[in-house]
Structure 1
Amino acid sequence: MTPSRTSGAGGSRPLPGAWSVGLHRGAIELRQFFRQRDQLVFTFAFPVVLLALFASVFGDEVKGTGVTAAQLYVAAMIAAGVMSTSFQSLGVSIAVERDEKVLRRLRGTPMPPTAYFLGKLWLVLVTGVLETVLLLLVGATLFDLDLPTTADRWLTFGWVFVLGLTGCALLGIAISSVPRSGRSATSVVVLPFLVLQFISGVYISVDTLPDWMLDVGALFPLKWMCQGFRGVFLPGSAAVLERTGGWEYGRIALVLGAWCAGGLLLCLLTFRWRSRRDS
């Protein structure tokens, strides 16, 4: 049965659904995010600063590819920016909200639990899009990154972005249950994210990484997002840098799709509304 509540005229009307409440939660999450200026500046400026540093230091053309190292970094940093605004952001913020008993209070309201996660996903989607647009502007204007001119490349960009963002967001929700307190959340979440950036081709070109590192990195979505975005923004000649000499779009879709399904399962199995100290 649909739950109802008494209106002011003495009748009844159905409670708002999870989708409409989720939109409202998303608006609240966005307002809170944009009001925290230090977090706002750090979130959007950090990948841009790293991009500028690495691209300036390693700006020479990569032999046999027709692209510069700076262009490789732009594509990889877009993937890292997507994971930062999803995996890292949710992993830390949800752990803090759990520790401060925000989740417990929300769980005690009539709000559908799904609406809370929809609100977080709206936050991740908006910030992820803004982060990506900013990095594309910097890459195109400062480092000669060629933006796609065909619909099929933009379509590829779209599904890599959506699948990558969704998988990383679900993984961030799942890892939020690992920290024992809000204070330790940053350390617990940032460390694996930092390691993944090194073994997934963000800071170091994949053709220079040891095979065992590539094998470990291939288990996680960041490596495949990096590869997918390189395929979108770089010419086909740059594919020689990849381990198999190709972009492997089919495998990218398979791995990212598997992380969406696996991340959802992890969330269902591990998510807690109360901190361990309240259990």
Structure 2
Amino acid sequence: MTAITNETRMAARSLPRRNLFAVGLQRVRFELVQYFRSGDALFFTFLFPVFMLGLFSVAFGADGDVVLAPDLPPISMAELYLPGMLAAGLLLSGFQNLAIDIAIERSEGMLKRYGGTPLSPISYFIGKIGLVAITGVAQAALLLAFAALALGVDLPTDPASWMTFAWVFVLGITASALLGVALSALPRTGKSATAVVVPIALALQFISGVYLMFAQLPEWLQNVAGAFPLKWMAQGMRAAFLPDEFAALEQNGEWNLAGVAIALAVWLVVGLVLSRLTFRWIRRDA
């Protein structure tokens, strides 16, 4: 058995790089089919931010627009919550989805079987990252369309806002996906994956300005949230979709997009290093 495994691994290493990418693209299609056939994953990662945006808009927006501070213009609840839900979508699509999915595949022995075939980890992760990229873009498009068409949110018209959205989206979803790969090594079984990952994702959403207004959180909790990437994703999305006057509600009274870029880039590198160190076809303690 060891000889067969070694031979298949050697075969994988000898595959031309273009074949690795071709197999990876086939894996993308496979991952997408599996994802959209899973009702619970479809709701709790793909449709959940849309559902929460609609819920908060209806529940808290019955009295019309709100004025958050004397010097700020009125704003609808849908417009207020849209940036946070976009950031939450990045976390759910990348971090939560991959952390649970890979942990379950490892627990069920799928990764062990992959390790005994010519499938390269490169091709495997092309499939996973492709899944995250496609579902993340589709989810963001659905959120924006729902906000504009159903909730009456006026989306930005200036290119600078959309450029900010684009780079925050790319850095945020990449960092989230890599951190999800790294965290997938933590659950010992597939059954415990959801119990390990979901509370972490949920806690981050509450302290990072997704469900609660970030400006209303205690300063010490804002500082804690600043140590994690979701806070910076939400701040970048607020910079893209809220009027400039709302920068006054941020910690330092400004959007601090340079800080957003640096924080997300650092977390991207951290996720890359951790995923490289922790990912194995088989758990070391298995």
Normalised by the length of structure 2, the TM-score is 0.88
| Alpha-carbon contact 1:75-1:230 (below 8 Å) kept | yes
* Residue number in structure 1 paired with 2:149: 141
Flag structure 2 segments of 5+ consecutive residues without an equivalent.
1-9
Instruction: Please give the alpha-carbon distance, in whole angstroms, between the structure 1 residues aligned to 2:250 and 2:40.
Output: 37
Alpha-carbon deviations, 1:235-274, whole Å to 9, x = none? 1011121111111110000000111111001111222211
* Pairing 1:130-209 to 2, within 5 Å after superposition: 130-209=138-217
AA aligned to 1:200 is S
Choose which of 22, 31, 51 in structure 2 pairs with 1:20.
22
Give the total of aligned pairs: 269
Please give the root-mean-square deviation of Cα atoms over the aligned residues, in Å.
Answer: 1.9
| Alpha-carbon contact 1:89-1:172 (below 8 Å) kept | yes
| Alpha-carbon contact 1:180-1:276 (below 8 Å) kept | no
AA aligned to 2:251 is R
| SS of alignment partner, residue 202 of structure 1 | coil
| Alpha-carbon contact 1:146-1:233 (below 8 Å) kept | no
> How far apart are residue 45 of structure 1 and its match?
2.7
| SS of alignment partner, residue 17 of structure 1 | helix
> How far apart are residue 88 of structure 1 and its match?
0.4
Instruction: Please give the alpha-carbon distance, in whole angstroms, between the structure 1 residues aligned to 2:27 and 2:245.
Output: 45
Structure 1, 206-215 or 57-66: larger mean CA deviation = 57-66
Instruction: Please give the alpha-carbon distance, in whole angstroms, between the structure 1 residues aligned to 2:152 and 2:16.
Output: 54
* Residue number in structure 1 paired with 2:219: 211
| Alpha-carbon contact 2:47-2:139 (below 8 Å) kept | no
> How far apart are residue 231 of structure 1 and its match?
0.8
* Residue number in structure 1 paired with 2:57: 55
* Residue number in structure 2 paired with 1:271: 279
1:86 aligns with 2:86: no
Instruction: Please give the alpha-carbon distance, in whole angstroms, between the structure 1 residues aligned to 2:103 and 2:123.
Output: 18
* Pairing 1:213-232 to 2, within 5 Å after superposition: 213-232=221-240
Flag structure 1 segments of 5+ consecutive residues without an equivalent.
6-12
Choose which of 49, 53, 72 in structure 2 pairs with 1:65.
72
Inter-CA distance 71–276: structure 2 relative to 1 (3 Å threshold): same
1:104 aligns with 2:106: no
Choose which of 29, 34, 45 in structure 1 pairs with 2:47.
45
| SS of alignment partner, residue 110 of structure 1 | coil
1:35 aligns with 2:37: yes
> How far apart are residue 154 of structure 1 and its match?
1.3
Instruction: Please give the alpha-carbon distance, in whole angstroms, between the structure 2 residues aligned to 1:191 and 1:4.
Output: 41
Instruction: Please give the alpha-carbon distance, in whole angstroms, between the structure 2 residues aligned to 1:41 and 1:216.
Output: 29
Normalised by the length of structure 1, the TM-score is 0.90
